[in-house]
């Protein structure tokens, strides 16, 4: 036995170099006892495991997103960690905040003394911002409610100081923390509670508690409608095709994404150049054709223009793969082709609202690149082409947030309108959330529904592919402004646009701030007429003549003029009272030919009349 072992060791030692070479060339899997069949199955198993893990993560994120209005908790946590970490290592900022807190307490103490002891009238130690109407009623000036609301405003001011100006915090995180903290403080505003709201208390005493009974009934009614996914109370008074979207017209073209409406002429002659309106598909088109008295479409038709309107289909899960290029081809370009068939050899005044304006700018840039000269002018209504200063809406746009929304849309195939509505309501929570609750649930009142409010409740969905592309390429990476946005495989440049542009911004726009809209001056090398009107993103655009309290500024920069920054423009642009609509109509008229007989409604047999306006796409749930 011993001699045999020695012989084996001797043989092994002799062949050791060969054995080492064989071992080194043998795959690890074979050395570990894994067969060739196992090796072939390993990639398939790994891919299956990755798909399973990815699906599990996305399902979890989507489920969570439904309870957070699509907001990413990770994004919020990251912002607060950045802020708290830098504040913890900023003793100077901490000392400054301590001093501010002491001073505010001293101011409140002095106000308390003057109000309760000296019993002398005195001005408040802090006043609300001009847009804050929560404490405007006379009852808030009486003790102790004057001290209650002033104490709240002092705390709100201190938290603003605490969440801003901390060295080292990224601008995005600072904006998120300041915004989120303000939202949390608004929850505990004294105006939201019966015992600290003197107006609600007075109403309760006056009605013997009847307002609380009515408010509870309103709450149950709203809750029932929310559970049933029904529109708010009062919207049934505004029916599409009956008392809104009633300007006479015909659907003369339809594809899987749009219906094209041609409106009937209101006069014997019209301008030869038609007007094409491209609304945003985040909303239904009839915001520009509300009631007859405030319809922009009816106004244009009445001024002698042939108007065409795109009505977007409300996408479903089947449309999940529709992307921005589909909206360009099946939307704007398809509409232009149909218009050119009805009104041949005439250029088109193209108008885009909000996201529709962004799409129109992309389309116009691609057309200019290809030498397509079918457009006479471009009008952009509250539409952005540069998204670096996109306002408070940009708070919801970062890698974490976009990924979170993508997971939500991946599961359903679209972004539900309720998710979008929740985000927009957060931007104006005092006006759209808390004031609504106080009026409806504490005061027991129902504000009369308007056509604009009913339209706002008639939401639409956003297809997965398009919205993901829009958020990433435009909002997150700003590809359009920086020359990276591709159409048909090649980047487009807004600087290629040479036709005149009319751009409208609104003073109180939370969706497309006017200074962001103003950047069209930097993106193009053509004549730009910029108009700034009073109002917000929707009410500023729907600004019919004769409406009181309307005003605007307007100034034209030619391609030869030097650039004016937004602040200088704001100081120099002339002020006018009234609606901006006549100003725009005059601008279009100057760039149009003499009136001619109106074109036919549709063009049989290629473009027969398919239905009366407003068509069927706008009525689809």
Count of alpha carbons within 13 Å of 442, Cβ hemisphere only? 20
User: Cα–chain-centroid distance for residue 481?
Assistant: 18
Q: Is it the case that residue 8 has pLDDT exceeding 80?
A: no
**Closest by CA position to 279, among listed 315, 255, 308:** 308
Q: Is it the case that residue 449 has pLDDT exceeding 50?
A: yes
Identify the weakest region by mean pLDDT among 59-63, 113-117, 135-139: 59-63
CA pair distance 243, 509, nearest whole angstrom: 27
How confident is the model at residue 394, as a pLDDT?
A: 74
**Closest by CA position to 387, among listed 527, 494, 513:** 513
Average pLDDT, the chain: 87
Q: What angle do CA 389, 390, 396 make, to 5 degrees?
A: 120
Report helix, strand and coil shares of the chain as percent, to nearest 5: 55, 10, 35
Helix (H) or strand (E) holding 503: strand 501-506
Helix, strand or coil, per DSSP, at residue 609: coil
Q: Which of 122, 125, 354, 616 is catalytic?
A: 354
Q: Answer for the pair 38, 32: CB distance below 8 angstroms, yes or no.
A: no
How confident is the model at residue 60, as a pLDDT?
A: 73
What are the residues facing 168 on neighbouring strands? none
How confident is the model at residue 37, as a pLDDT?
A: 54
Give the mean model confidence (pLDDT) for residues 8-13.
Answer: 40
How confident is the model at residue 29, as a pLDDT?
A: 40
Give the mean model confidence (pLDDT) for residues 432-445.
Answer: 87
How confident is the model at residue 27, as a pLDDT?
A: 45
The band of 456, judged by pLDDT with boundaries at 50, 70 and 90, is confident
Q: What is the DSSP letter of 285?
A: G
Identify the weakest region by mean pLDDT among 6-15, 97-106, 296-305, 392-401: 6-15
**Which residues does 403 contact at the CB level (< 8 Å), separation at least 6?**
61, 72
Identify the weakest region by mean pLDDT among 178-192, 267-281, 302-316, 365-379: 178-192
**Closest by CA position to 425, among listed 61, 70, 65:** 70
How confident is the model at residue 51, as a pLDDT?
A: 66
Q: Answer for the pair 281, 353: CB distance below 8 angstroms, yes or no.
A: no
Give the mean model confidence (pLDDT) for residues 20-27.
Answer: 44
Q: Is it the case that residue 5 has pLDDT exceeding 80?
A: no
Q: Is it the case that residue 167 has pLDDT exceeding 70?
A: yes
Between 421 and 91, name the one with better pLDDT: 91
What are the residues facing 352 on neighbouring strands? 278, 380
How confident is the model at residue 619, as a pLDDT?
A: 92
Q: Answer for the pair 464, 416: CB distance below 8 angstroms, yes or no.
A: no
The band of 23, judged by pLDDT with boundaries at 50, 70 and 90, is very low
Give the mean model confidence (pLDDT) for residues 119-135.
Answer: 82
Centre a 10 Å sphere on the Cβ of residue 227 and count the other Cβ atoms it contains.
8
Give the mean model confidence (pLDDT) for residues 566-592.
Answer: 96
Count of alpha carbons within 13 Å of 609, Cβ hemisphere only? 11
Q: Answer for the pair 273, 308: CB distance below 8 angstroms, yes or no.
A: no
CA pair distance 38, 256, nearest whole angstrom: 48
Q: Answer for the pair 328, 366: CB distance below 8 angstroms, yes or no.
A: yes
Q: Answer for the pair 391, 510: CB distance below 8 angstroms, yes or no.
A: yes
The 3-state secondary structure of 312-348, one letter per residue: ECCCCHHHCCCCHHHHHHHHHHHHHHHHHHHCCCCCE
How confident is the model at residue 58, as a pLDDT?
A: 67
How confident is the model at residue 14, as a pLDDT?
A: 43
Centre a 10 Å sphere on the Cβ of residue 421 and count the other Cβ atoms it contains.
15
Identify the weakest region by mean pLDDT among 13-22, 106-115, 182-191, 461-470: 13-22
Centre a 10 Å sphere on the Cβ of residue 315 and count the other Cβ atoms it contains.
23
- How many angstroms separate the most distant Cα atoms in the chain? 121
Helix (H) or strand (E) holding 185: helix 171-187
Q: Is it the case that residue 16 has pLDDT exceeding 50?
A: no
Strand-pair category, 375-381 with 501-506: parallel
Identify the weakest region by mean pLDDT among 51-60, 129-138, 328-337, 393-402: 51-60
The dihedral through the CA atoms of 34, 35, 40, 44 has a sign that is negative
Q: Answer for the pair 587, 502: CB distance below 8 angstroms, yes or no.
A: yes
Predicted model pTM? 0.86
How confident is the model at residue 34, as a pLDDT?
A: 46
How confident is the model at residue 528, as a pLDDT?
A: 97
Q: Answer for the pair 531, 505: CB distance below 8 angstroms, yes or no.
A: yes
Q: What is the DSSP letter of 86?
A: H
Centre a 10 Å sphere on the Cβ of residue 220 and count the other Cβ atoms it contains.
10
Tally the residues of the chain: 621
Task: Quote the tokens at residue 17.
Answer: 């170099």
**Which residues does 323 contact at the CB level (< 8 Å), separation at least 6?**
463, 465, 466, 469
CA pair distance 491, 488, nearest whole angstrom: 8
Identify the weakest region by mean pLDDT among 78-82, 127-131, 239-243: 127-131
The alpha-helical segments, DSSP class H, found in 15-144 are 16-25, 28-31, 36-67, 73-88, 91-113
How confident is the model at residue 41, as a pLDDT?
A: 55
Count of alpha carbons within 13 Å of 554, Cβ hemisphere only? 21
Q: Is it the case that residue 542 has pLDDT exceeding 70?
A: yes
How confident is the model at residue 397, as a pLDDT?
A: 77
Q: Is it the case that residue 1 has pLDDT exceeding 60?
A: no
Identify the weakest region by mean pLDDT among 89-103, 255-269, 424-438: 424-438
Between 34 and 152, name the one with better pLDDT: 152
Q: Is it the case that residue 590 has pLDDT exceeding 70?
A: yes
Residue with tokens 């109000």, as numbered in its chain: 115
- Active site includes 125? no
Residue with tokens 């109180």, as numbered in its chain: 508
Count of alpha carbons within 13 Å of 529, Cβ hemisphere only? 20
**Which residues does 572 contact at the CB level (< 8 Å), separation at least 6?**
555, 564
Give the mean model confidence (pLDDT) for residues 44-68.
Answer: 70
Q: Is it the case that residue 25 has pLDDT exceeding 70?
A: no
152 cis-preceded (ω within 30 degrees of 0): no
**Closest by CA position to 414, among listed 62, 71, 75:** 62
**Which residues does 139 contact at the CB level (< 8 Å), separation at least 6?**
145, 198, 199, 202
DSSP string of 244-266, one letter each residue: BS-S-EEEEEE-SSEEEEEEPPS
Q: Answer for the pair 234, 228: CB distance below 8 angstroms, yes or no.
A: no
Percent of the chain with pLDDT over 70: 87
Q: Is it the case that residue 97 has pLDDT exceeding 90?
A: yes
The band of 409, judged by pLDDT with boundaries at 50, 70 and 90, is confident
How confident is the model at residue 297, as a pLDDT?
A: 97
CA pair distance 579, 597, nearest whole angstrom: 29
144 cis-preceded (ω within 30 degrees of 0): yes
């Amino acid at each position: 036995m011993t001699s045999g072992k020695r012989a084996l060791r001797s043989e092994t030692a002799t062949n050791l170099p060969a054995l080492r070479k064989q071992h080194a060339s043998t795959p690890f899997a074979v050395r570990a006892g894994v067969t060739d069949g196992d090796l072939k199955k390993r990639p398939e198993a790994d891919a299956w495991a990755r798909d399973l893990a990815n699906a599990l993560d996305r399902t979890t994120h989507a489920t969570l997103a439904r309870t957070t209005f699509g907001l990413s908790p990770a994004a919020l946590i990251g912002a607060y960690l950045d802020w708290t970490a830098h504040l913890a290592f900023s003793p100077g900022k901490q000392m400054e905040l301590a001093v501010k807190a002491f001073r505010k307490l001293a101011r409140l103490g002095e106000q308390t003394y003057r109000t309760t002891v000296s019993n002398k009238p005195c001005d408040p130690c802090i006043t609300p911002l001009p847009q804050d109407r929560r404490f405007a009623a006379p009852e808030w000036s009486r003790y102790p409610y004057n001290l209650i609301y002033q104490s709240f405003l002092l705390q709100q001011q201190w938290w603003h100081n605490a969440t801003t100006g901390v060295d080292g915090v990224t601008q995005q995180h600072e904006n998120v923390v300041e915004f989120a903290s303000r939202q949390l403080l608004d929850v505990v505003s004294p105006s939201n509670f019966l015992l600290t709201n003197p107006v609600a208390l007075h109403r309760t005493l006056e009605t013997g508690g009847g307002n609380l009974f009515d408010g509870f009934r309103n709450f149950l009614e709203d809750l029932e409608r929310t559970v049933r996914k029904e529109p708010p109370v009062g919207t049934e008074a505004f029916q599409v095709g009956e008392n809104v979207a009633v300007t006479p017209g015909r659907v003369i073209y339809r594809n899987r994404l749009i219906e094209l409406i041609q409106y009937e002429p209101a006069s014997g002659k019209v301008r030869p150049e038609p007007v094409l309106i491209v609304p945003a598909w985040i909303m239904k088109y009839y915001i520009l054709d509300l009631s007859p008295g405030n319809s922009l479409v009816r106004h244009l038709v009445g001024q002698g223009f042939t108007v065409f309107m795109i009505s977007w289909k409300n996408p479903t899960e089947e449309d999940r793969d529709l992307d921005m290029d589909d909206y360009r081809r099946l939307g704007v370009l398809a509409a232009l082709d149909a218009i050119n068939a009805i009104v041949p050899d005439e250029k088109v005044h193209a108008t885009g609202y909000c996201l529709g304006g962004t799409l129109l700018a992309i389309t116009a840039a691609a057309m200019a690149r290809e030498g397509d000269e079918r457009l006479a002018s471009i009008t952009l209504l509250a539409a952005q082409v540069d998204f670096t200063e996109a306002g408070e809406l940009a708070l919801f746009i970062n890698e974490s947030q976009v990924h979170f929304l993508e997971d939500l849309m991946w599961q359903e195939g679209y972004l539900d309108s309720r998710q979008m509505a929740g985000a927009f309501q957060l931007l104006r929570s005092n006006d759209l959330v808390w004031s609504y609750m106080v009026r409806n649930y504490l005061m027991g009142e129902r504000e009369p529904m308007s056509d604009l409010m009913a339209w706002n409740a008639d939401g639409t969905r956003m297809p997965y592919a398009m919205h993901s592309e829009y958020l990433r390429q435009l909002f997150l990476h700003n590809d359009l402004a920086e020359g990276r946005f591709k159409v048909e495989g090649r980047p487009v440049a807004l600087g290629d646009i040479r036709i005149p542009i009319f751009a409208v911004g609104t003073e109180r726009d939370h969706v497309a701030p006017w200074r962001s809209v103003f950047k069209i001056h930097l993106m193009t090398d053509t004549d730009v007429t910029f108009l700034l009107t009073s109002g917000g993103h929707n009410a500023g655009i729907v600004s019919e003549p004769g409406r009181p309290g309307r005003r605007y500024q307007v100034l034209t920069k030619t391609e030869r003029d030097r650039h004016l920054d937004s602040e200088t423009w704001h100081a120099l642009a002339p002020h006018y009272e009234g609606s901006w609509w006549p100003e725009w109509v005059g601008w279009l008229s100057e760039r149009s030919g003499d009136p001619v007989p109106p074109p036919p409604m549709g063009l049989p047999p290629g473009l027969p009349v398919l239905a009366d306006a407003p068509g069927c796409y706008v009525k689809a749930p």
